[in-house]
């Protein structure tokens, strides 16, 4: 009996020891050396000096260098990918371009808060939750000893963009990573996941909007989707959908690309929607919150509403360097040698009639979050049609960075997103896109829209269109 017990205990000890060794090995493979961080920093400098589309790119690179030199780093230790992110993201954050940033790393073993949020005008609204005590739509007021406004200040250096309102949109993912970004104290290796407790003060979205304090425990990033699927979430937009409001057809878009099988699905959706609704008098393109980078998404639809070939000229600026050969060729420039000159190249948006051609008056609805190719399309649309746009001024300027590329660092497990070109219309330097019919939104109206309670802007847009009949 004693021998059997010894064998059992020995087996358990060996199993635990082997498990710990495996976890230790996996942990060591995740670590990033100081030398690798240095190489990543040098990549950022190289891209800034040679690719970033700005006359001041050398000054920007020097600004990044100065920030890096002031970082206190020990050569005797290694870093986890999230720690590397905390080092390098504030460097590119100083550039002030929402299209120039590192993507936060999310490894399966990371500890995350058991809810996600979106931040609207400094207010954190829960979008999904994996616990019963916090519901989608609730407002987070405090996490441990920090108020939401204090947490925002701590997380802003890890965002990017020209102003606070742009950076605010990136806070949602960072909030869920608070256990890793703000609260990780030391490196450790364990066989079993150890949850951490957080005290959260939340204001309920139901009933009397009372405040309550709850204690929640962290989950792993891998486990969160499974746990959160058991609870209701705030509504999200589909990539594309069609609805009808009397004689007004509404195409609502989310953010997506035409890669893989999506193109065929999108074409089928457009054809079915248009063929069965030929009698539409008006069509409203709802592009609120759309950040898609593929102009063809909007070109594919719009060509069903033009009856002749239509051409709109625009300009784009690209640095004349070997790093940009592919982009230069795309815009018809014959590269021969690097001059480091910021070229201004004319290009055209060409729209050809596409069957079925629908004779409807097209309108566009957008909000402050509409950006990238969606913004470019609306700007082009405004050149063709007067008094057909509704919404609010965009946060992104008309002359924004574009032609985004990415570079993945396999050692740091980080992806750097960076632009190779910038829209360059001289008469619109640092100007945002303004609608013909402006609809101002207050914070509570935005929150009700996010919660799915009331779509004030959409209702007002329908009223504007009907008033023009």
What integer pLDDT is reported at residue 412 of this predicted model? Answer: 86
Cα separation, 281 vs 293, in Å, equals 29
Q: What is the pLDDT of residue 109?
A: 85
Number of neighbours of residue 409 by Cβ within 10 angstroms = 19
pTM over 0.75: yes
Question: What average pLDDT does the segment 279-292 reach?
Answer: 95
The string of pLDDT tens digits covering residues 446-455 is: 999 999 999 9
Q: Is residue 185's pLDDT more than 70?
A: no
Residue 126 has pLDDT above 90, yes or no: yes
Where does the pLDDT of residue 389 fall: very low under 50, low under 70, confident under 90, or very high at 90 and above? very high
Q: Taking residues 141-164, report their average pLDDT.
A: 95
Q: Sorting pLDDT into bands at 50, 70 and 90, what band is 352?
A: very high
Instruction: Report DSSP state, residue 432.
Output: B
Q: What is the pLDDT of residue 9?
A: 60
pLDDT tier for residue 426 given thresholds of 50, 70 and 90 = confident
Q: Give the integer Cα–Cα distance in Å for 117 and 105.
A: 18
Q: Is the pLDDT of residue 178 over 60?
A: yes
- Give the mean pLDDT of 18-25: 55
Kindly report the backbone phi and psi dihedral angles of residue 386, in degrees, each rounded to the nearest multiple of 5, phi listed first.
-95, 145
Mean pLDDT within 26-43: 81
- pLDDT given for residue 31 in this prediction: 80
CATH 2.60.40 assigned to 101-228: no
Percent of the chain whose pLDDT exceeds 90? 74
Cβ pair 385, 360 in contact under 8 A:
no
Q: Of 407, 278, 281, nearest to 355 (Cα)? A: 278
Q: How many CA atoms lie within 13 A of 405 on its CB side?
A: 15
Question: Would you say residue 339 has pLDDT above 60?
Answer: yes
Judged by DSSP in three states, 186 sits in: coil
Task: Give yes or no for residue 338 having a pLDDT over 60.
Answer: yes
**Mean pLDDT in residue range 415-432:** 87
Average pLDDT (140-150) is: 95
Q: What is the predicted pLDDT for the residue at 207?
A: 65
At 210, the pLDDT band (50, 70, 90 cuts) reads confident
Q: What is the mean pLDDT of residues 437-449?
A: 95
Closest residue by Cα to residue 30 from 88, 85, 103: 85
pLDDT(57) > 70: yes
Q: Would the pLDDT of 20 be above 70?
A: no
Task: Read off the pLDDT of residues 298-310 as tens digits, 9 standing for 90 and up.
Answer: 999 999 999 999 9
pLDDT at res. 193: 60
Please give the structure tokens belonging to residue 202: 């939340």
Per-residue pLDDT tens over the stretch 220-234: 998 999 999 999 999
Give the model's pLDDT for residue 321: 93
Q: How confident is the model at residue 260 (pLDDT cuts 50, 70, 90)?
A: confident
pLDDT of residue 286: 97
| Of 78 and 315, the one with more pLDDT | 315
pLDDT of the residue at 387:
94
Q: In the CATH hierarchy, which fold is given to the domain comprising 240-467?
A: 2-enoyl-CoA Hydratase; Chain A, domain 1 (3.90.226)
Residue 371 has pLDDT above 90, yes or no: yes
Helix (H, G, I), strand (E, B) or coil at 251: strand
């Amino acid at each position: 009996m004693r021998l059997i017990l010894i064998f059992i205990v020995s087996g358990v000890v060996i199993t635990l020891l082997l498990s710990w060794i495996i976890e230790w090995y996996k942990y060591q493979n995740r670590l990033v050396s100081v030398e690798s961080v240095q190489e990543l920093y040098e990549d950022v400098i190289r891209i800034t000096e040679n690719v970033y589309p700005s006359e001041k790119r050398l000054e920007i690179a020097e600004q990044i260098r100065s920030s890096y030199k002031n970082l206190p780093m020990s050569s005797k230790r290694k870093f986890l990918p999230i720690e590397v992110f905390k080092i390098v993201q504030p460097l590119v954050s100083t550039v002030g371009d929402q299209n120039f940033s590192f993507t936060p790393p999310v490894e399966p073993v990371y500890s995350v808060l058991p809810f996600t949020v979106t931040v609207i005008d400094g207010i954190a609204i829960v979008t999904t939750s994996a616990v019963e005590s916090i519901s989608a739509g609730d407002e987070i007021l405090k996490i441990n000893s920090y108020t939401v406004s204090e947490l925002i200040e701590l997380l802003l250096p890890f965002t990017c963009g020209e102003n606070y309102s742009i950076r605010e949109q990136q806070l949602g993912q960072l909030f869920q990573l608070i256990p890793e970004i703000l609260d990780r104290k030391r490196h450790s290796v364990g066989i079993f996941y150890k949850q951490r407790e957080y005290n959260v003060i939340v204001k309920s979205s139901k009933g009397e909007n009372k405040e309550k304090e709850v204690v929640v425990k962290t989950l792993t990033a891998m486990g969160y989707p499974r746990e959160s699927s058991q609870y209701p979430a705030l509504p999200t937009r589909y990539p594309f959908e069609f609805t009808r409001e009397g004689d007004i057809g509404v195409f609502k878009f989310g953010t997506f690309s035409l890669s893989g099988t999506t193109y065929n699905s999108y074409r089928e959706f457009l054809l079915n929607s248009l063929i069965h609704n030929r009698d539409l008098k008006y069509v409203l393109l709802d592009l609120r919150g759309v950040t898609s980078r593929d102009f063809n998404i909007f070109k594919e639809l719009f060509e069903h509403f033009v009856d002749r070939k239509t051409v709109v000229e625009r300009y784009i600026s690209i640095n004349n360097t070997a790093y940009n050969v592919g982009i230069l060729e795309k815009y018809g420039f014959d590269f021969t040698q690097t001059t480091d000159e910021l070229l201004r190249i004319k290009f055209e948006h060409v729209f050809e009639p596409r069957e079925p051609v629908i004779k409807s008056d097209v309108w566009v609805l957008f909000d402050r979050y509409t950006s990238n190719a969606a913004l470019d399309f609306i700007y082009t649309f405004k050149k063709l049609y007067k008094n057909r746009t509704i919404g609010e001024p965009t946060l992104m300027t008309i002359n924004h960075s574009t032609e985004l590329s990415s570079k993945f660092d396999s050692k740091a497990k980080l992806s750097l997103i960076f632009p190779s070109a910038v829209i360059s219309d001289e008469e619109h330097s640092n100007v945002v896109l303004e609608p013909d019919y402006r609809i101002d939104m207050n914070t509570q109206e935005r929150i009700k829209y996010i919660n799915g309670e009331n779509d004030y802007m959409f209702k007002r847009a329908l009223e504007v269109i009907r008033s023009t009949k």
